[in-house]
Structure 1
Amino acid sequence: MNKLYSTACERNRDPILQILRGVLANAGRVLEIGSGTGQHAVYFGAALPHLSWQTSDLPQNHPSIQAWIAEAGLSNVLPPIALDTAAGPWPQQSFDAVFTANTCHIMAWDEVVAMFAGIARVLRPGGAVCIYGPFNYGGRFTSDSNARFDASLRERAAHMGLRDFEAMDALARGHGLELAADHAMPANNRLLVWIKTA
């Protein structure tokens, strides 16, 4: 059975959807970076049928994404494309929005930097970037649980760890993305939204 299951996706999908309903109300094509198990894609695709939801991830994660899509039978959720944020290849077409969840603390910082550069290339002017996950503010953890999570990530691999909001926002601004919202989410997570102005 290729279909993998994430309890985190199950827990956070409804709070995320509440925000996406507004942010993506006028969007058409959405690129999801790091679709993971595929759960978010089919849940948001079913709830937001006006969207064409393009899944993407490293090739080894495609079987689970494909299994979730096949089970859901949604025509607006597209099969995953291979996308390594640092190595590419990035899609040639443009998108009205980009969404990614729980990826930035797994990626190396160089990959996060490359991700913003890639997003700036594929996102149309006026398009939104939505990034969900835990972040530090002012170089500090926002909770004890986030500090423990960061420690566990760094034990797994030296390149992992919670990212600083200020560093993320500086990257975004460097690519013509303006912060539109910073939503507090359950379990000490955030949903950050930038809009492409240039």
Structure 2
Amino acid sequence: MAGTRTSDCSRVSGPQPFVFAAGAEIKRHAPATERNRDVIAETLMKVLPAQGMVLEIASGTGEHVVHFAQIFPGLTWQPSDPDPIALASINAWRADCAVPNVRPTMLLDASTDWPIAQANAVVCINMVHISPWAATIGLLRNAAGILPPSAPLFIYGPFRQYDIPLAEGNAAFDTALRQQNPEWGLRYVEDIVTEARDVGLMLDQIIPMPSNNLSLIFRFR
């Protein structure tokens, strides 16, 4: 069950760079996190179980996981990332916020086999468009292997849809991503649904989110 936060250690006051020092470690800050974390949390309230372990894939700076842990005290959160710099940032946020229901970070590449046997939910925010397609395939395959029946896989980010024109801002973003890395870019929801179905994950909901983002909710059947 979601709880009420008495304080918000993960809020950054005033303009900040993407990276700033935090003791002996480096605590990173992504400005987009403060813009989207509350609306994502509102959606997660309708999706996540009341208890259990939530695996977050590509935790990035760590700001999302410490924020969600305060809102969902009944859940244990397992952050993960393939980048050692990100892992250090997550650990710094975890230490600063002193959230007891966030586990130590896990080195995990979404495209390879995951070092975890079971989770009650999997959450992945803003990874799919800034990683090779193999990472999305791995996300779906591995989630299907660790989720019990009806448990959710929550994916958030910007996507394309075959029957809906791409918003101008998302089109420009997609072009910029592909220029930065040809293996990146906005993925078609329909392609993800097809791959998910092949491993036993069925699309439960598509939820429109602010700034032309979507939340995709899959459940293991």
Bin the TM-score by the shorter chain: over 0.9
Q: TM-score, normalised by structure 1?
A: 0.95
Distance in 2 of aligned mates of 1:24 and 1:46: 14
List runs of 5+ in structure 2 lacking aligned partners. 1-20
List runs of 5+ in structure 1 lacking aligned partners. none
Contact 2:49-2:120 within 8 A present in 1 as well: no
> Paired residues, what number?
196
Which SS does the other structure have where 1:136 is aligned?
A: coil
Distance in 1 of aligned mates of 2:125 and 2:53: 17
Give 1:34's aligned residue: 58
Contact 1:183-1:190 within 8 A present in 2 as well: yes
Choose which of 192, 196, 200 in structure 2 pairs with 1:172: 196
Task: Quote how far apart the aligned CAs of 1:28 are.
Answer: 1.1
Which SS does the other structure have where 2:45 is aligned?
A: helix
The reply to whether residue 138 of structure 1 matches residue 162 of structure 2 is yes
Contact 1:141-1:147 within 8 A present in 2 as well: no
Task: Quote how far apart the aligned CAs of 1:41 are.
Answer: 0.2
Choose which of 121, 124, 135 in structure 2 pairs with 1:97: 121
The reply to whether residue 71 of structure 1 matches residue 96 of structure 2 is yes
Distance in 2 of aligned mates of 1:171 and 1:151: 24
Residue 35 of structure 2 aligns to which amino acid in structure 1?
A: R
Task: Quote how far apart the aligned CAs of 1:181 are.
Answer: 1.0
Return the structure number with greater strand share.
1
Give 2:87's aligned residue: 62
Contact 1:135-1:141 within 8 A present in 2 as well: no
Give 2:38's aligned residue: 14
Which SS does the other structure have where 2:44 is aligned?
A: helix
Which SS does the other structure have where 2:150 is aligned?
A: strand
Identity %: 38
Residue 104 of structure 2 aligns to which amino acid in structure 1?
A: P
Which SS does the other structure have where 1:132 is aligned?
A: strand
Return the structure number with greater helix share.
1
From the CA coordinates, give the structure whose radius of gyration is larger.
2
Which SS does the other structure have where 2:149 is aligned?
A: strand
Distance 1:139 1:162, change over 3 A: farther
Deviation by residue 1:51-83 (Cα, 9 ceiling, x = unmatched)? 100000014211100000001101101111010
Distance 1:141 1:63, change over 3 A: farther
Contact 1:33-1:100 within 8 A present in 2 as well: yes
Backbone CA RMSD of aligned residues: 1.3
Which SS does the other structure have where 1:68 is aligned?
A: helix
Which SS does the other structure have where 1:95 is aligned?
A: coil
Which SS does the other structure have where 2:128 is aligned?
A: coil
